[in-house]
Amino acid sequence: MLDATTRSGGTATVLPRTAATGLAAATSVAVPAVPLGRAARWGRVLLSPWARFSLLVALLLGAVSAVLLFEPQRLLADGWPPQLSGAAAVVMFAVAYGLCTVAFVPRPILNIAAGALFGSQLGLASALGGTVLGAGIAFGLGRMLGQDALRPLLRHRWLKSADGQLSRHGFRSMLAARLFPGIPFWAANYCASVSRMGYLPFLLATALGSVPNTAAYVVAGARASSPTSPAFLIAMACIAIPALIGAALAWRKRHHLRAR
């Protein structure tokens, strides 16, 4: 140790230069990188964006296969199981409805079945519950398993425009998509999941925007036994008129794009 006299008359202890240098070198020694084990490497591969997207595709293919195997549309001909009745039947149908929409079963068939099985009021409640449930499941699956893989592919001008619209104006864009009969339900779900749209605006817009079309099909299913009744005719008009308007708008938009 070396002693140095301070200005106030005291002493201070100073370490030798060699000792200080050695201490600094010891504290700055880099820890060698430990190579990843086989389990860690496989974990990184399985959690990669394209691995998760492959899992999403496998899940959807499995859901479609289950629908083709069990044929839920037979409810229209065979009716609901007699052991299920009341509120339990409505809830079970809503759950089955939601799962079927994830597997690309057309909603009009399910809406008609809801009206035929439960009548207008309970059928509408069950169908709307199943609509929101199915949309939420599809949105969650697309967001967790498909967004990271698909967002880098949004390079086309139309895709960028649609993504920007959904991301910036999520609620009103999804509300318009639900009201417009020409946009498939599943397509709107997965497009929204790839965008930056929030979960809550997506569900609220789905619930509100699906009411008119769902109600028309449910009432048509509930009054199908009396096709000349005013309720059935009004329901069919509510189905046909928006479809014609949507087809006209789509044709006009396509003609406008060709002209440009």
Query: From CA 235, how far away is CA 239, in angstroms rounded?
Result: 6
Output the pLDDT for position 244.
Answer: 82
- How far apart CA 89 and CA 81 sit, in angstroms, is 9
Both tokens of residue 119? 């009548």
> Residue 208 corresponds to which tokens in the numbers above?
């509100």
pLDDT in tens, 146-177: 877 777 777 666 667 777 778 888 899 999 88
When computed from its CA atoms, the radius of gyration of the chain, rounded to whole angstroms, is 30
How many other C-beta atoms can be found within 10 angstroms of the C-beta atom of residue 73? 16
State pLDDT tens for residues 67-85. 888 777 676 556 666 666 7
- Rounded CA-CA distance 179/165 in Å is 16
Task: Return the pLDDT at 5.
Answer: 46
Q: What are the residues facing 5 on neighbouring strands?
A: 11
Q: Which amino acid is at 179?
A: L
Are the C-beta atoms of 209 and 203 separated by less than 8 Å? no
Question: Given a cut of 60, is residue 254 above it in pLDDT?
Answer: yes
Query: What stretches of the chain adopt beta strand conformation (E)?
Result: 2-5, 11-14
Instruction: Give me the pLDDT at residue 158, please.
Output: 65
The DSSP H or E segment spanning 8 is none
Supply the pTM of this predicted model.
0.73
Statement: residue 24 has pLDDT above 70 = no
Amino acid identity at 43: G
The model's confidence at residue 25, banded by pLDDT at 50, 70 and 90, is very low
Nearest-angstrom CA–CA distance, 252 and 247:
9
Structure tokens, 75: 């409810």
Coil, helix or strand at residue 11:
strand
Answer whether residue 12 shows pLDDT above 50: no
pLDDT in tens, 93-151: 999 999 999 989 999 999 999 999 899 999 999 999 999 999 999 999 989 988 777 77
Beta carbons of 139 and 200 less than 8 angstroms apart: no
Q: How far is 13 from 4, CA to CA, in rounded Å?
A: 7
User: How long is the chain?
Assistant: 260
In tens, the pLDDT along 181-236 reads: 778 899 899 989 888 899 999 999 999 999 999 999 999 999 988 888 999 899 99
Phi/psi at 15 (5° precision): -75, 150
